[in-house]
């Protein structure tokens, strides 16, 4: 009976910790908009988080899902233009493909709920596309985020802060990212884990294997 109790407690603690995080992309592109060279712009969109989210990867559009022709430079900025984190996605298939974007991992970056951010990618060797900017394209949006419209740099042919918007509710793609919901357990989860570990410790102290009795 005691062995069964210990197994149940351990399983409960493991379940809480193993279900703490769930990864998903900001924009899941279903059909691309018009394709064009990404060489002139840093392309992306403005957004905010509705709840606790952590950005774990930044990525750039991979038209053929067969690797990038050249390196892509992807960044995350605040609205004042401060570069908060960035990554270079290597040419070819060195990044991780998820749907139509190729990602590279970053040091996890926690988003502040309600704060506006801008993601953008400069991929000079590849084509870019869009969603809901008047050039076609359909997408599935992450329910953990709010979207505030397209962003791009002003024809500077370099990786830079995307200062310009056409005022659409869509996105230039360009940049994308992966978030994890609850990458840090919420207070209720922490409480349950602490209770579980405490109960497990008490049970183990009170139980002795028959071989040692």
Q: What confidence tens digit (pLDDT) does each residue in 69-105 have?
A: 999 999 999 999 999 999 999 999 999 999 999 999 9
Pairing status of strand 53-61 against strand 175-181: antiparallel
Mean pLDDT for 123-137 is 96
HSE (CB half, 13 Å, CA atoms) of 59? Answer: 31
Higher-confidence residue of 131 and 181: namely 131
- Tell me phi and psi for residue 33, to 5 degrees: -85, -165
Residue 182 banded pLDDT, cuts 50, 70, 90: low
Provide the 3-class DSSP secondary structure of residue 115.
Answer: coil
Query: What is d(CA 129, CA 136) in angstroms, rounded to the nearest whole number?
Result: 9
Question: CA 73 → CA 26, 52, 87, 179, distances in Å?
Answer: 18, 26, 6, 18
Quick check: 58 pLDDT over 60? yes
**E strand or H helix at 178:** strand 175-181
In tens, the pLDDT along 140-180 reads 999 999 999 999 998 889 999 999 999 999 999 999 999 99
pTM of the entire structure? Answer: 0.78
How much is the pLDDT for 155?
Answer: 80
Taking residue 69's Cβ as centre, other Cβ atoms within 10 Å add up to 16
């Amino acid at each position: 009976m005691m062995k069964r109790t210990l197994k149940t407690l351990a399983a409960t603690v493991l379940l809480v910790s193993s279900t703490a995080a769930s990864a998903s992309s900001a924009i899941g592109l279903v059909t691309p908009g018009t394709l064009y060279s990404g060489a002139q712009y840093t392309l992306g969109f403005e957004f905010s988080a509705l709840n606790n989210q952590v950005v774990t990867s930044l990525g750039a559009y991979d038209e053929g899902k067969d690797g990038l022709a050249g390196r892509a430079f992807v960044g995350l900025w605040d609205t004042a233009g401060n570069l908060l984190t960035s990554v270079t996605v290597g040419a070819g298939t060195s990044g991780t493909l998820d749907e139509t974007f190729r990602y590279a991992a970053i040091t996890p970056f926690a988003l502040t709920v309600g704060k506006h951010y801008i993601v953008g990618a400069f991929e000079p060797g590849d084509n870019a596309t869009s969603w809901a900017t008047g050039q076609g394209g359909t997408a599935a949006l992450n329910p953990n985020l709010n979207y505030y419209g397209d962003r791009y740099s002003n024809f500077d042919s370099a990786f830079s802060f995307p200062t310009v918007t056409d005022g659409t509710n869509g996105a230039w793609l360009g940049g994308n990212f992966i978030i994890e919901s609850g990458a840090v357990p919420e207070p209720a989860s922490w409480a349950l884990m602490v209770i579980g570990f405490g109960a497990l410790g008490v049970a183990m102290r009170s139980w002795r294997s028959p071989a040692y009795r």
